[in-house]
Chains A and B, each alone.
Chain A
Amino acid sequence: AQSVTQLGSHVSVSEGALVLLRCNYSSSVPPYLFWYVQYPNQGLQLLLKYTSAATLVKGINGFEAEFKKSETSFHLTKPSAHMSDAAEYFCAVSDSGGYQKVTFGIGTKLQVIP
């Protein structure tokens, strides 16, 4: 069975500061990993995905994530937070076979303080 653990259900950063959202995964097979963002009253939008092509993955809106197999981690970072980054972020994992059912983490709400 696959799972993800997001450390910290709420994270606050100052505008301009580094954003770091943590995600650790568990999977018995090489996984696909994703970060999604959800703005208030909206559906989820894909930020980036890891598919084994490169361990450092760049996504939209200046976000990136690094796959570290030894640490089973896929943390999301952004060098400088912007007010518009305030949202809920979900880490997710799927296996590489079949219908690729996705398992989501519980989410991390990012607050950006002006």
Chain B
Amino acid sequence: DAGITQSPRHKVTETGTPVTLRCHQTENHRYMYWYRQDPGHGLRLIHYSYGVKDTDKGEVSDGYSVSRSKTEDFLLTLESATSSQTSVYFCAAATGPSSGGAFEQYFGPGTRLTVT
């Protein structure tokens, strides 16, 4: 897992409540990402960060916000959870260009979120 943890690992919440998922990394990676995984869609990027307090939207950012106040923590908030946000959420991190120039992303174990 390359030093990436996610909490909680499982959560059940009600529609309309705010939810915050935490990603913590210990390898001083500059870049961090939040994805959601749904059957038939693979992984889709929600938000990403390219440094402390530097974040940007991914392809499915509506209804989500993020914050990164420290290098090691990247928080994902569902402002008002809906049933369509029931999913498995993965955090990933990358240091930057590795051999050949590509970013290698390391993934956390995932958080299974159910919105009832």
Interface centre among A9, A32, A90 (most CB of B within 10 A): A32
CB distance from A1 to the nearest CB of B (A): 10
B103 interface neighbour in A100, A103, A106, Cβ under 8 Å: A100
CB distance from A15 to the nearest CB of B (A): 26
B101 interface neighbour in A44, A90, A96, A102, Cβ under 8 Å: A96
Digitize A73-105: 1 where CB-to-B-CB distance is under 8 Å, 0 elsewhere.
Answer: 000000000000000001000101001111111
Judge if B104 is at the interface, Cβ distance under 8 Å: yes
Known: A32-B102, A51-B100, A52-B100. A44 touches B45 (CB 8 A): no
Chain A: interface secondary structure?
loop
For chain B, residues 59 to 99, give those with C-beta under 8 angstroms from any C-beta of chain A.
90, 92, 94, 99
Cβ contact within 8 Å between B101 and A105: no
Chain B contact residue count (CB 8 A cutoff): 30
Q: Which residue of A lies closest to B94 (CB)?
A: A100
Judge if B34 is at the interface, Cβ distance under 8 Å: no
A49 interface neighbour in B41, B48, B100, B106, Cβ under 8 Å: B100
Q: Which chain B positions have C-beta within 8 A of A49?
A: 100, 102, 104
Size class of the contact patch on chain A: 20 to 34
Cβ contact within 8 Å between A106 and B48: no
For chain B, residues 19 to 55, give those with C-beta under 8 angstroms from any C-beta of chain A.
31, 33, 35, 40-45, 48, 50
Q: Which residue of B lies closest to A101 (CB)?
A: B45
Q: Which chain B positions have C-beta within 8 A of A96?
A: 101-102
Known: A102-B105, A106-B42. A44 touches B100 (CB 8 A): no
Known: A99-B50, A105-B42, A106-B41. A44 touches B103 (CB 8 A): no
A81-B61 Cα distance, complex, nearest whole Å: 38
A100 interface neighbour in B35, B56, B99, B102, Cβ under 8 Å: B102
A80-B4 Cα distance, complex, nearest whole Å: 32
A9-B41 Cα distance, complex, nearest whole Å: 11
Q: Which residue of B lies closest to A32 (CB)?
A: B102
3 shortest interchain CB distances as A-B pairs: A51-B100, A43-B107, A32-B102
